[in-house]
Structure 1
Amino acid sequence: MELFEVPLYDDDFIKMIGRYAINLFVVTILVRVVYYKRSRSKDYLFTFYMLSTVVFFICFTMKKLELELGMAMGLFAIFGVLRYRTDTMPIREMSYLFTVIGLGVINSLANLKVSWLELITANAVLTALPAWLESLPLLRQESQEEVLYEKMELVHPDRYDELLADLEQRTGLSIARIEIGKIDLVRDCVTITIFYHPHQQSVQDVNGVNVSRRGRRL
């Protein structure tokens, strides 16, 4: 059956659903298990899922079209004109973004020349490699917050442990290290940068603490 000279169904529909299910499964492992477990941030989860889905269906649809050179050049020109005015995305999140885009392209454009073993291997590598890199202590994600601290008597090398314990008790964070910044003797306070690993904090700690990056007085 056809509607407006377009078939209502063809055999590629089952192929599309099957490939998308594979792509969604792999992206879920990468985003939900690997990325979110370490970052505890939900800011980019929507972007990762939607962009991967959009890229998958665009590539799958375009594969069935025989585009002329002029039309292809026109599409590239349109994308070249577009400008996205958004907040700067961190490098780590940008890496995950390119990974989910790559997964969408691979899973949608793989043809009969690509075996199932090759396709599974590509998906496994793009999922396992970020998980392995995230587990390395050297590459462990580290976040930072800046606070204004008023207990000047604790800002001394001999009382570092007391200062660290006081900051952990007042912020609710498990702090990896701190750096002493600008000391204001007029207002009797000091700027301290707190470094912590998000994946080591409980959900209540990360979401409950309200520390401004511009500095919050403790």
Structure 2
Amino acid sequence: MSDLTLLGADAVAVLVLTFLVYFPRYRRPDMVLSIMSINVGVVAVATVLSRADVTAGLGLGLFGVLSIIRLRSQELDQEEVAYYFSALALGLLGGIRVTPDWIAPTLMAAIVATLFIVDHPGLFAGVRHQNVTLDSAFTDEVALHAHLEKLLGADITRLKVKKVDLVSDTTSVDVRFRLPEDRRST
């Protein structure tokens, strides 16, 4: 497979990932910029590294350091981390020639298809997660569970008390819940 074909496959994959899967679901232009730029940067560096005397291990190590710095500079949701690293992987696949020729485009398609399916809004419709601070101190988990079900109008599937402050009469809780059918949106 020619370098141009491989670069084209990467371009198609990252454009589909970004504009047909990610952006319609999350509507974050700043992440579109991040996803596209990390992909182009990785393709460029991977292409050069695959043709230079520098080992791929050094290049991957540099990308690892850059990714850690980038991800620590702003808090990203887990979904955004998945898209970010998928763009990175697509860039590596687009910049390094592997044999047989069909492997890189197949892996690119698998990455995009996985995110499309696993991050589809209908897959976990009604499942929610929130950090809630209540204006009452709950020391009884059963009472807390019942209060959250009533407050959220949902079936609580998991809760984890983060902090109970008896002085200021507050409770902070990480709660996971499922909305009833009539309150779900996809």
Take 1:141 and 1:52, find their aligned partners in 2: how far apart are those partners? 31
Matched, 1:76 2:58: yes
Q: How many residues align?
A: 164
Matched, 1:29 2:46: no
Take 2:52 and 2:144, find their aligned partners in 1: how far apart are those partners? 71
Letter in 1 for 2:118: L
Asked which structure has the greater CA Rg, the reply is: 1
Q: Counterpart in 2 of 1:213?
A: none
> 2:119 pairs with 134, 146, 149, which one?
134
CA contact (8 A) 2:127 2:176 kept: no
Structure 2 unaligned segments of length 5 or more: list them.
Answer: 179-183
Q: Report the 3-state secondary structure (helix = DSSP H, G, I; strand = E; otherwise coil) of the residue aligned with 1:110.
A: coil
Structure 1 unaligned segments of length 5 or more: list them.
Answer: 1-11, 166-174, 203-218
Letter in 2 for 1:104: G
Paired residues for 1:156-171 under 5 Å = 161-165=149-153
**What value does the CA root-mean-square deviation take over the aligned residues?**
4.5
Q: Counterpart in 1 of 2:135?
A: 149
Going from structure 1 to structure 2, the CA distance change for 1:30 and 1:156 (only over 3 Å counts) comes to: same
> 2:92 pairs with 100, 105, 109, which one?
105
Going from structure 1 to structure 2, the CA distance change for 1:50 and 1:37 (only over 3 Å counts) comes to: same
Deviation per residue, 1:15-63 (Å, 9 max, x gap): 54x5444323211322344345555655643322111101112222344
Q: Counterpart in 2 of 1:9?
A: none
Q: Counterpart in 1 of 2:45?
A: 58
TM-score normalised by length of structure 1: 0.50
TM-score normalised by length of structure 2: 0.57
